[in-house]
Structure 1
Amino acid sequence: MKNIKIAIIDNGVNESLLKSPLEHKILVSNEGECFFDNDNMEQVSFMHGTICAMIIEKYFPESILSSVKVLNENGKGLLSKLHPAMEWCLQHQIQIINLSLGSTYFEDKEPIQKLINQYAMQGLLVIAANSNSEYVSYPASLSNVIGVATDSKKYNRFTYKGNLGINVLAPVKQELMIREEKIIIQQSNSYAAPYITALISRICTNISSVNIHEVIKNLQPIAKNYGIFFLPQYYEPDWIHTALVKTSKIKSRAKYYFNTVEGMTGEKMHLIDTVIIDDLSQIKEGNFYNKNIVYLGNQIVKQPITDRFFWSSQNKMKYILDSRNDEEVTELNIPTILCEWDGYMDEMFFLSELKRSFYQDNYHVYTVSFHVESVLYGLEYIPEEALKEEYESALDYFFYRQTYCKQNVALLLGLSPDIMPHSERLQEKADLRVIFEKQEYNYQVSFFCEDIITEQILLQEVGFESIQIIFQKIKEILGGNINE
């Protein structure tokens, strides 16, 4: 049995309440420096980190615990402290991180995602609590994290099904002995996470590799014994840190959300975590079985072809259909914006930059493309098949739940000429249609509300400046219908 080192990144741990001493007590300063934490934890009334440590110790007494303080005594802290905290863990041979914290703010997703993927590739396993709200939180929702919530009536199984990116639900009730007094811990996702951390740490003492795939494979068979409920594992390809891209898809001016390598050879395989392909034969040819795979082709994949993350368009279609609930779909209470073009458009660039314009003005917009390569640019991909009449209610519900859980203020969709024949229903329901018509030397852009042209402009090209102009026009036309 090997030793497992666990870091509790939180608001500190009162060592006197543990049965075994901490291996390290670290404080991360506002400047990102790591020091010995000599704060008097007896004076801290909010015992968040301490309770997390006690739960882990209760269910895994052999744990070797360290405290890395990034939050103040009230549980507040700077996102910038997470990077030095994780780097410290890596440098001190920590294998597992318990994060009973996170953010529901959309602007925090990108930096947290990059950080998680960077350290996952280097061998750190993160177990994170979901927010105690109904909203997507980071990092718990990310694929490279084991996201945890309580299994209760308030935080029910359907709420988390395919919407919040959570892996497991843990029992609600926790009892601890604090100085010979029995304490019942309040229902909270924060305290569900250390319970899972303890069980996973125990598993890791007997497996060769501490990684998310091995852990989940070994935890699933014993889940019922510990009151754990596993949720369906539908995930977006958000895990990529560095990829080898072997696809014939047209490359956009837009940047991938991840790093890439060129001229891959056998000795460089350790540099990548993911291979992106559109031909399944490439897996065998390149011996990519032990890598994460994003498959952009059209073949039906009937069985797993890797023990790691595998994503394809059929995964996404299943995700949409399985997230459907019997309850009546509530109409979207956010505006729907369609951007349509009659000829070639660098769709990934246009949608990425328009999304960025919204983002920079503090608007979180759910930005959709119907082309599979959009997943490489951090856009929301919807298979063209989902536009069929038979899937109408499923797609409506998917949009409703996704935009609610991600706190989006608008739904933005790109429609290329090949999608147009199947988009009549979307056009009918749109609050605003932005239509691009390619002319000899420019683009005519028409803005339609309720089938009436409210404005027309001419653009010589669709570049950074012109996309900003389009964004401002959308804001002017929709006015107060976009709520911050």
Structure 2
Amino acid sequence: MRCAIVDSGVQRELSGNNIFGGITFKRSEAGIEIIENEYQDENGHGSMVYRTLAQTDTEFYIVKVLNESNQGNSLTLCEALKWLLNIEVKLIVICISTNNLEMGQEYEKLINKLSIQGKILFASWTNNGRDTLSYPAILKNVISVGRKKMDSKFIECDWKNNIQCLINIDISYIWIPEKGFRSFGGNSQATADLVAMVCKRIGYVRDIKEMRKRIDELDYNYYRIYRDYECETDQRLLSIIEKYSKTFTAESAMWEIFPTIEELSDFLEEICTIFEINKYTVIFKRSMFVSIKKFSNTINIIKNGEKKYEN
């Protein structure tokens, strides 16, 4: 299956052979500038969306519409949607939101055309709250996605709501060149997690109507946290942690030892080096950091290639 990611691009160092093309749209004094076969990510947001989805057997077309500050405008997004009318993809992932009402009708017209072609759009709701208008997520032919903390479920859907799919996210930590490990959460991660699940568990469908039906048929309770194994905490891990703290136990939470993302990033980079984990592809999860013991156990799971989401 083929998927377009409309975001800030993807860093070349992270891109794999599953990317079959890409393009950049940016505003200039002359209007909208279009640069084909160029989609270098200067922010990192789009790269984290891509890394989340790249765990699936999917091909990607990268559409860059956001700059280094993760900002864009409605005109470039509209031009990107027009372009996708002529690109062979099935899914379109837009982890972008705007409340620009003036462009609402233009968004709706373009998205209706994409929907007629059988293309299925997923868009994240704004992180500013449910009551705020959020384009393009609010439109009829878009599957809108947000996040919600739930005890045992991965997903909760109501197709009549503004936010149709609520996802129980487990915040990701993804390595970005020249930035280190950075956290990926919010409604953007919720959207990427949902599309990753769709690619793994559903696959090809005819249209958005069938996609909604198939999402409803999923077993929503299959979401699983990395399992605990009865094994001793790896001494190499303890030696690394001792560089940062002398007062900890096997039950200490990792975020107590590494209170800032910079400290956590340095630690995770060292973990990747010592345990020979590929930092370009690994995705650490916040649930791993509940305790040192749990983190030690999950290192072995990562090395053995066990997936976060299992059938």
- Alignment TM-score > 0.5, same fold: yes
Residue number among 156, 163, 166 corresponding to 1:166 in the alignment: 163
Residue number among 7, 18, 28 corresponding to 1:10 in the alignment: 7
Instruction: Determine the structure 2 residue equivalent to 1:63.
Output: 58
What is the CA distance between 1:25 and its match in structure 2? 2.1
Counterparts in 2 of 1:105 and 1:161: CA distance versus 1, 3 Å: farther
Instruction: Determine the structure 2 residue equivalent to 1:52.
Output: 49
Residue number among 209, 212, 223 corresponding to 1:213 in the alignment: 209
SS at match of 1:15: coil
1:151 aligned onto 2:152: no
* TM-score with structure 1 setting the length: 0.40
Higher relative contact order (CA 8 A, sep 6+): 2
Distance 1:96 1:47 in 2: 21
Contact 2:123 2:136 in 1 (8 A): yes
SS at match of 1:68: strand
Q: Partner letter of residue 48 of structure 1? A: H
Contact 2:12 2:40 in 1 (8 A): no
Distance 1:131 1:164 in 2: 14
1:97 aligned onto 2:87: no
Counterparts in 2 of 1:178 and 1:19: CA distance versus 1, 3 Å: farther
Contact 1:148 1:170 in 2 (8 A): yes
Contact 1:55 1:176 in 2 (8 A): no
The runs of 5 or more residues in structure 1 that have no matched partner are: 154-159, 229-484
Instruction: Determine the structure 2 residue equivalent to 1:196.
Output: 194
Q: Work out which of the two has the higher radius of gyration on C-alpha atoms and give 1 or 2.
A: 1
Contact 1:128 1:146 in 2 (8 A): yes
Instruction: Determine the structure 2 residue equivalent to 1:128.
Output: 123
Q: Which residues of 2 match residues 320-399 of structure 1 at below 5 A?
A: none
Q: CA RMSD in A?
A: 3.0
**What are the superposed Cα offsets for residues 147-176 of structure 1, whole Å, 9 maximum, x if unpaired?**
0001138xxxxxx97896111111221334
Counterparts in 2 of 1:150 and 1:184: CA distance versus 1, 3 Å: farther
Q: Partner letter of residue 110 of structure 1? A: Q
What is the CA distance between 1:186 and its match in structure 2? 4.0
Contact 1:173 1:184 in 2 (8 A): no
Distance 1:183 1:226 in 2: 28
Contact 1:129 1:149 in 2 (8 A): yes
What is the CA distance between 1:123 and its match in structure 2? 2.0
**What are the superposed Cα offsets for residues 358-389 of structure 1, whole Å, 9 maximum, x if unpaired?**
xxxxxxxxxxxxxxxxxxxxxxxxxxxxxxxx
Counterparts in 2 of 1:118 and 1:92: CA distance versus 1, 3 Å: closer
The runs of 5 or more residues in structure 2 that have no matched partner are: 151-156, 225-311
What is the CA distance between 1:19 and its match in structure 2? 4.5
Instruction: Determine the structure 2 residue equivalent to 1:84.
Output: 79
Instruction: Determine the structure 1 residue equivalent to 2:68.
Output: 73
Instruction: Determine the structure 1 residue equivalent to 2:252.
Output: none
Contact 1:174 1:184 in 2 (8 A): no
Instruction: Determine the structure 2 residue equivalent to 1:187.
Output: 185
Counterparts in 2 of 1:219 and 1:182: CA distance versus 1, 3 Å: farther
SS at match of 1:73: coil
Distance 1:103 1:86 in 2: 15
* TM-score with structure 2 setting the length: 0.60
Contact 1:56 1:198 in 2 (8 A): yes
SS at match of 2:4: strand
Distance 1:223 1:113 in 2: 32
1:141 aligned onto 2:138: yes
